[in-house]
Amino acid sequence: MSRRVRRSLALVTAACLAFAGAACSSQGGAQEEADTNSGGGTNSGAGPQLKMAMVTHAPAGDTFFDIIRKGADAAAAANNVEYTYSNDGDPTRQAVLIENAVNAKPDALLVSVPAPEAVKGAVQKAVAAGIPVVGFNAGRETFKDWGAMMYFGQDETIAGRAAGERLKGEGAGKVLCVIQAQGQSQLEARCNGVREGFGGQVENINVTGTDLTSVRSTLESKLRQDPAITHVMTLGAPFALTAAQAKQTAGSKATIVTFDTNAELVGKIESGEIAWAVDQQPYLQGYMSVTAAAFYLRNGNTLGGGQEVLTGPSFIDKSNIANVSKYAKAGTR
pLDDT in tens, 60-97: 888 889 999 999 999 999 999 999 999 999 999 999 99
Claim to verify: residue 148 and residue 285 sit in the same structural domain:
yes
Report yes or no on 299 lying in a domain: yes
- Whether 332 is covered by a domain: the verdict is no
Pair 149, 132: CB distance under 8 Å: yes
Residue type, 39: G
Give the pairing type, strands 133-136 and 174-179.
unpaired
Please give the pLDDT value at position 3: 41
The answer to whether residues 37 and 70 belong to one domain is yes
Residue 37's pLDDT is 65
CATH number of the domain at 243, please. 3.40.50.2300
Q: What is the total count of domains within the chain?
A: 2
Identify whether 331 is part of a domain: no
- Distant-in-sequence, close-in-space partners of 3: CB < 8 Å, separation ≥ 6: none
Same domain, 215 and 115: no
- Sequence-separated (6 or more) residues with CB below 8 Å from residue 117: none
Residues 13, 144, single domain; the answer is yes
Same domain, 199 and 109: no
Report pLDDT for 36: 67
The predicted structure's pLDDT at residue 34:
52
Q: H-helix or E-strand containing 274?
A: none
CA-CA distance, 283 to 142, in Å (whole number)? 22
Distance separating alpha carbons of residues 244 and 126, to the nearest angstrom: 43
pTM score, whole prediction:
0.82
User: Which domain covers residue 199, as residue numbers?
Assistant: 156-279
**Running along the chain, 333 residues long, what does each successive block of 10 average in pLDDT?**
43 40 35 56 74 94 90 97 95 96 98 93 96 95 93 95 98 97 89 97 96 97 97 97 97 97 92 96 97 97 94 95 88 84
> Measured between alpha carbons, how far is residue 318 from residues 7, 119, 152, 265 in Å?
29, 40, 27, 13
- Read off φ and ψ for residue 183, nearest 5 degrees: 95, -10
Q: Are residues 269 and 292 in the same domain?
A: no
Alpha helices in the chain (DSSP H): 3-18, 63-79, 91-103, 116-128, 143-146, 156-169, 185-198, 212-225, 237-250, 263-271, 282-299, 321-329
Within this chain, do residues 11 and 120 fall inside the same structural domain, yes or no? yes
Shared-domain flag, residues 182 and 57: no
Is 319 within a domain? no
Same-domain pairing of 106 and 253: no
Same domain, 142 and 271: no
Residue 256 makes CB contacts below 8 A (sequence gap 6+) with 231, 232, 234, 240, 243, 244, 247, 273, 274, 275
Q: What is the pLDDT of residue 14?
A: 43
CA 276 – CA 29 distance, rounded (Å): 24
Residues 215, 258 within the same domain: yes
Q: Which amino acid is at 104?
A: A
Q: Looking at the structure, tell me whether residues 275 and 285 fall in a common domain.
A: no
